[in-house]
Chain A
């Protein structure tokens, strides 16, 4: 069974530029999550989708971050404009149920200069 796929794995941009990350969850998983992991910290939930609807985006900085999950499968997370403090690893995860078992991708590492 294929795992959660993310791309790109690494991205370096200048501040005020934009960037987009893509995620393809495990087939059949209805719930998709984007987490931000800053160096030295644990992952922090940015947004949670159930199919193509948003369940929780309370910690998403909506002035610069946006995410969508068209057709309830793939998802894209965008940052525009980027700030230095956005340097982090962006993790995508998916789950089939609500038992706490999330399946994570390898992450996309963003460096903002």
Chain B
């Protein structure tokens, strides 16, 4: 079945540091890939997505590239801010669509001044 593996947290960075959160997946066919973010006290929300190989999703300074050859979708940001402190979830949906998402376990990011 489908599965998502992401790096364990918590990850603690200083403001303006470079961020990478690793995500790899196992799936049949060509799934769509997502990063969701959960800010403190809020529900999960879509951060970015990519629907086919070599696509790059981007939003709010975050980027992730769909790498089929390495089955990866790593999240990156060049300069993090305190306001980026949150839990980040990597997810995929079945190749056939239908919005059935499989989530990773989440990575907590804490950004300090």
Which A residues contact B (CB, under 8 angstroms)?
3-4, 31, 33, 40-45, 48, 55-56, 91, 93, 95, 98-107
Contacts and interface: CB of A to CB of B under 8 A. Distances in A.
B43 A105 contact: yes
Contacts of A91: 43-44
Contacts of B46: 100-102
B47 to A, nearest CB: 11
A48 B98 CA distance: 10
Contact of B98 (A40, A55, A93, A101): A55
Given A100-B32, A100-B34, A45 B100 contact: yes
A48 B100 contact: yes
A100 B44 contact: no
B10 to A, nearest CB: 12
Contacts of A55: 98
Interface in B5-46: 32, 34, 41-46
Interface residues of B, number: 24
Nearest to B43: A104
B30 to A, nearest CB: 13
A106 B106 contact: no
Nearest to A58: B100
B105 A98 contact: no
B97 A98 contact: yes
15 contacts: A31-B99, A33-B99, A45-B100, A45-B101, A56-B98, A56-B100, A93-B43, A99-B99, A100-B93, A101-B46, A102-B46, A103-B45, A106-B42, A106-B43, A107-B43
